[in-house]
Amino acid sequence: DADVTQTPRNRITKTGKRIMLECSQTKGHDRMYWYRQDPGLGLRLIYYSFDVKDINKGEISDGYSVSRQAQAKFSLSLESAIPNQTALYFCASQGLATDTQYFGPGTRLTVL
């Protein structure tokens, strides 16, 4: 079984709709991250959380919000989706004792 899972894997929605992307990890990691990947731009950090009570903005947080419901769960919301939020979204987790982030399989989001 995958250690970091993301749901849904693919989503097509319309402009103005509210969308939630979910991430769960079974590695017992404290730190979780949301990244966005656009062609030719690499991955950019949206939000990150070092524990349940700690949420931090990344470099491109505008238009997004997050919720850390539990140590294992970290959700990303688009309150009112717009077409330039069409991208591949990755969740990652990292433990305090490890220096490596492990990524989920990604969610491909299309906003029409």
Partner 1 sequence: AQKVTQAQTEISVVEKEDVTLDCVYETRDTTYYLFWYKQPPSGELVFLIRRNSFDEQNEISGRYSWNFQKSTSSFNFTITASQVVDSAVYFCALRRTRGSTLGRLYFGRGTQLTVWP
Q: Where do contacts with partner 1 occur on this chain (CB under 8 A)? A: 31, 33, 35, 40-45, 48, 50, 58, 88, 90, 92, 94, 99-106, 108
Minimum CB distance to partner 1, residue 16 (Å): 27
Of 7, 36, 18, 5, the residue nearest 111 (C-alpha): 18
- The residue among 21 and 104 lying less far from partner 1, judged by its C-beta, is 104
Minimum CB distance to partner 1, residue 80 (Å): 26
Minimum CB distance to partner 1, residue 65 (Å): 18
